[in-house]
Amino acid sequence: MSTTWFATQNEVFEWSFRSNQAYPDPFNALELDVVLTHASGQSWRVPAFWGGGQTWRVRFAPPLAGSYQFVTVCTDAGNPDLHGQSGALEAAPYTGGSPLLIHGPLQVAASGRTLQYADGIPFFWLADTWWMALCKRLRWPDEFQALAADRLAKGFTTVQIVAGLYPDMPGFDPRGANEAGFPWEENYARINPAYFDMADLRIRWLTQAGLVPCIVGCWGYYLPLLGIEKMKQHWRYLVARWSAYPVFWCLAGEANMPYYLSADKPGDEKLQKTGWTELGRYVRAIDPYHRLTGIHPTQVGRDQVEDDTVLDFNMLQTGHGGYNSISNSVEKVIQQRQRQPAMPVLVSEVSYEGIIHDSQPEIQRLVFWASMLSGAMGHTYGANGIWQLNGRGQPYGASPWGGNWGNTPWDEAAQLPGSRQLGLAKRLLERYPWQRFEPHPEWVQPSGSPSDINAPFAAGIPGEVRVVYFYNPQWQPGAYAIQHLEAGVSYRACFWNPRDGEQHDLGLIQPQPDGCWKLPLQPTQQDWVLILERASS
């Protein structure tokens, strides 16, 4: 039977196929794809997902306006309800205002350093960490939507969120269930579609609000538990459910870290590195939209796999030691930015605000600015209490290894000052073509480095703009010097307060003949951002 469907370019459109032939175990019995061919000749092979019973559903976001023909391809070629079904789809041009849709899919910029939309508009990754937000401890819809609104208002663009197989707990721990149970049935026999129906509400809400979900397939230690083939089923299901939305993929969290109580940690680690490489190739092969993919590491994303061509961006985890983790953050950003071929790099986990000790807002500011001015493409924030979703009177509790990370309720953690301050920092950088910034440690003396994080960090565009962050305040005028100022270029300067966004203008600066300018004393004895912007003629 031939059918014509009507959709809109870039918007998710869903339809379904039902089998009159009953399968005792339909999820494991077969796979169904829909091949859509545009009038231009371009085609997309879209995996369908089992919707429960004898029904399979397919989601397609037409990349182009115009006419498509589709045909179904089923591994059971003898089932006429699922194999060889054909029809047409007409996609009207997208005329809405969502920035996640109007600018086209996200991609790596030509520089290999940053991300952008298909039309060239830069994308600033400022992510929040909600590892367990698809479970019912963050109540849907009111609590989930309230947290999303808070993050959106503060300037966040991305949310890191795990697809049901969570960290810090064993499989089928009651804390990991949502309103419809667990993502898999007992012993990982088959997917639970009802779990993902509830997860759909949350993922769809994020994208409609303007936040890009970075969907973490699972925590890395689930790979030895499920095995490669079962994990491919898991990832195929995620791609079928959510690839039509504007999402990032993260193959796994702490990908090579064995389970906390594993009896063979070296063996598991080896299996996980090999396995996640294979899974990376698999996800690339089945995702019709080629959504950008990373992997959350124990240290460096590119080192979690045997072939880093399965990745589009390089995620780093650099510690939870507060001030003591900053040096490692800067070192890893600098090292990985120099690695070839070039790949966007960012810190995806570091010193959640409020965790352990010495991870307060000043540490959030320091790691953001030190990383960004050292060449990161963006930054990931986290708040202790949100990642594990402590409820009021219902804290998360202990990890499998016995420790408890803290009991701060998520709604209290959401108001820790670091999240607002990093949003202000992002908005400051967005005043300028930040995607063209390059690190310039030679612009300031003394200069920040992994061995001296108290000294200022500098980046910008020669002859246009310079941004300098200093964590350690000057104790006398002239302790810091801006160097190599270009002859014939006049700069206006200001101090910008990274705590509240207040700006203190300094007017036109007067450098010495050798291109050096001594900084006046900052307004208060705290950390500050110095901005030098080319004065108009």
What is the phi/psi pair of residue 192, to 5°?
Answer: -105, 100
- Per-residue pLDDT tens over the stretch 186-229: 999 999 999 999 999 999 999 999 999 999 999 999 999 999 99
Rounded to whole angstroms, the Cα distance separating 200 from 338 reads 39
Question: What is the pLDDT at residue 71?
Answer: 98
Cβ atoms of residues 15 and 4 within 8 Å? no
List the chain domain ranges. 2-92, 100-430, 440-534
Q: Which of 70, 205, 66 is nearest to 142 (CA)?
A: 205
Cβ atoms of residues 56 and 48 within 8 Å? yes
Question: What is the pLDDT at residue 536?
Answer: 82
> Would you call 98 exposed, middle or buried from its count of C-beta atoms within 10 A (0-12, 13-18, 19+)?
middle
Cβ atoms of residues 82 and 56 within 8 Å? yes
Q: Which of 474, 420, 412 is nearest to 126 (CA)?
A: 420
| pLDDT > 70 in the chain, percent | 99
- Per-residue pLDDT tens over the stretch 508-534: 999 999 999 999 999 999 999 999 999
Q: Do domains 2-92 and 440-534 have the same CATH topology?
A: yes
Q: Which of 464, 526, 533, 462 is nearest to 500 (CA)?
A: 526
Question: What is the pLDDT at residue 318?
Answer: 98
Residue 357 predicted with pLDDT over 90 = no
Which residues contact residue 260 at a Cβ distance below 8 angstroms, ignoring those fewer than 6 apart? 221, 399, 400, 401
Query: Which letter, b or e, does each residue of 29-55 get, where b requires 16 or more Cβ atoms within 10 Å of its Cβ?
Result: ebbbbbbbebeeeeebebbbbbbeebe
Cα-only R_g, the chain: 25
- Per-residue pLDDT tens over the stretch 440-491: 999 999 999 999 999 999 999 999 999 999 999 999 999 999 999 999 999 9
The CATH homologous superfamily to which domain 440-534 belongs is Golgi alpha-mannosidase II (2.60.40.1180)
Residue 1 predicted with pLDDT over 60 = no
Q: What pTM, to 2 d.p., does this model score?
A: 0.97
The CATH homologous superfamily to which domain 100-430 belongs is Glycosidases (3.20.20.80)
- Per-residue pLDDT tens over the stretch 404-449: 999 999 999 999 999 999 999 999 999 999 999 999 999 999 999 9
Owner of token pair 């030190």: 370
Arithmetic mean of pLDDT, 385-399: 96
Torsion angle (degrees, nearest 10) of CA 331, 337, 339, 341: 170
- Per-residue pLDDT tens over the stretch 103-114: 999 999 999 999
- 320 vs 259, 317, 324, 326, CA distance in Å? 19, 9, 8, 9
- 344 vs 179, 207, 333, 452, CA distance in Å? 37, 23, 10, 24
DSSP string, 264-315: -HHHHHHHHHHHHHHHHHHHHHH-TT---EE---SSBGGGSSS-GGG-SSEE
What element of type H or E holds 72? strand 66-74
Rounded to whole angstroms, the Cα distance separating 208 from 97 reads 11
- Per-residue pLDDT tens over the stretch 134-175: 999 999 999 999 999 999 999 999 999 999 999 999 999 999
Rounded to whole angstroms, the Cα distance separating 296 from 347 reads 10
Question: What is the pLDDT at residue 491?
Answer: 98
Question: What is the pLDDT at residue 3?
Answer: 79
Query: Angle CA(4)–CA(68)–CA(98) in degrees, nearest 5?
Result: 95
Which residues contact residue 444 at a Cβ distance below 8 angstroms, ignoring those fewer than 6 apart? 455, 456, 457, 458, 468, 480, 481, 482, 483
Question: What is the pLDDT at residue 537?
Answer: 54
Arithmetic mean of pLDDT, 31-36: 98
Question: What is the pLDDT at residue 510?
Answer: 94
Q: Which of 193, 121, 205 is nearest to 161 (CA)?
A: 205
What element of type H or E holds 355? none
Q: Which CATH architecture has domain 2-92?
A: Sandwich (2.60)
What element of type H or E holds 222? helix 222-226
Under the banding of pLDDT at 50, 70 and 90, the label for residue 249 is very high
Question: What is the pLDDT at residue 2?
Answer: 66
